[in-house]
Amino acid sequence: MIKNHFVRPWAWVPTLYLGESLPFSAVMLISVIMFKDFGLTDGQITVYTGWLGLPWVIKPLWSPFVDNFKTKRWWILSMQFLMGLALAAVAFTIPTAYWLQCSLAIFMLIAFASATHDVSADGFYIIGLNNREQELYVGVRNTFYRIGMMLGQGGMVTLQAVIALSLTSSVHDDNSQNSLAWAIIFVIMALLMLALGLFHSIALPKVEQPLHDRFVLKTQLVEFWNTLKVFARKPHIITALLFILLFRLPEGLLTKIVPLFLTRSVAEGGLEMTKVDFGLVYGTLGVIGLLAGGIIGGWAVSKWGLKKCLWPLVLCITLPDLVYVYLSYVPTDSVWLIGSCVCIEQIGYGLGFAAYTLYLVHFSRGERTTAVFAICTAGQYLGGVMLPGMVSGLISESVGYQTFFLIVMALCLVTFAVTALVKIEEEKA
């Protein structure tokens, strides 16, 4: 193994996870607001974007190939350049008559590339840092991952509104203004991804040698089967699976509905925020809360250990969800009050997700670390993103936002139950 000691983690961990989250943000978050702008219902939006989460669920099928062919560094760079080009392609589909079909098809391509990038980036994180560094930087990694999502869902949405307004004098049709503004946004995101690819071609350290340089189907099938056996033989596998699948269930329901709740009209039960205000809340106040929660959570686990910190951090990720119950029953047009509520929830999310991520890292250590971690994150997406995300819009349409948020709070009991069952053995630094 090659080890470059002159490249410090601060030089690449933040940007690596920024590059991991930007495409995810485009596919799973920005698309929610764009589809809402183009007239789709909550149910349509969550079902369509829910299916786009499929690659993150099935990525273990090809993770052994990523683990054994070329290097993880090679995969990271290749996928970042591919996603940059695909994001640019989205921009050209928006003005067409088949914008929905074309954008969904390209989003699915980006999703597969992003899922492959996740496998390689997470593996690179594990082999590029020692155990102590993994714990120390987990808050940084989670924070910059979420910053990427906030940059997309907050910054890019705000920028789209500003661009649409600036086009008023030259483009008189509101729909054309909106479409052109969204096309410009995807060109900007494409340039960001290409820039990250160029930066990482210099900044990522070389910490590995390729195991294979050509694809052999039989070899990869054997590798995948061996990975499944390693995963199945992990200690306390049943309780671990329950924890991985169900820990983020309440957050999975909230992820797609909160942006819709904040921006839908008062008549529809929402808070009717403008896209500029929405971007301020998610792109500024939310990031401040996330920065505090993510870094403090990683530091706390690094100092006191995951076992001691788990329950306090579980309370942090669940109880702040009450802010959305409050906002649905006591609606307000105060941007700062809404922003404060979102900030509180994001602080809690950052704290709790730090513990969850470190559990996945600890569980994956040992034989075939990268491929096992890919299975863990696939379970995380299935139970914490894809399935709850797909049904969230259908539930909110059926019962309304107020009852929906009460259901989310009730399902926090599931998070408590799987936390009580999971077995954690502290590891020595």
- Domains annotated for the chain, with CATH where assigned, are 9-421 (1.20.1250.20)
Where does residue 70 fall: left (phi above 0), alpha (psi -120 to 50 degrees), or beta otherwise? left
Per the CB < 8 A criterion, the answer to whether 241 and 248 are in contact is no
DSSP H or E run through 379: helix 369-381
How far apart CA 247 and CA 420 sit, in angstroms, is 11
Handedness of CA 374, 380, 381, 382 (dihedral sign): positive
Per the CB < 8 A criterion, the answer to whether 408 and 321 are in contact is yes
DSSP-assigned letters across all residues of 114-181: HHHHHHHHHHHHHHHS-HHHHHHHHHHHHHHHHHHHHIIIIIIHHHHHHHHHHTTTT---HHHHHHHH
Per the CB < 8 A criterion, the answer to whether 326 and 345 are in contact is no
User: Which of 50-54, 170-174, 244-248, 345-349 has the least mean pLDDT?
Assistant: 170-174
* Helices first, then strands: H and E counts in the chain: 21, 0
> What is the predicted pLDDT for the residue at 210?
63
Facing residues of 212 across strands? 69
How far apart CA 169 and CA 378 sit, in angstroms, is 47
Q: What is the pTM of this model?
A: 0.80
Q: Tens digits of per-residue pLDDT, 304-337?
A: 888 888 999 999 999 999 999 999 999 999 999 9
> What is the predicted pLDDT for the residue at 429?
43
Q: Tens digits of per-residue pLDDT, 170-199?
A: 666 667 888 899 999 999 999 999 999 999
How far apart CA 48 and CA 217 sit, in angstroms, is 32
Q: Tens digits of per-residue pLDDT, 187-239?
A: 999 999 999 999 999 988 887 766 655 656 677 677 778 888 888 888 889 99
Which one, of 90, 92, 93, lies nearest residue 25 by Cα?
A: 90
CA distances from 166 to 34, 83, 130, 280 (A): 18, 28, 49, 18
How far apart CA 35 and CA 46 sit, in angstroms, is 10
Max CA-CA distance within the chain? Answer: 65
Q: Tens digits of per-residue pLDDT, 86-138?
A: 999 999 999 888 999 999 999 999 999 999 998 889 888 878 777 777 777 77
- In the chain, pLDDT over 70 holds for what percent of residues? 93
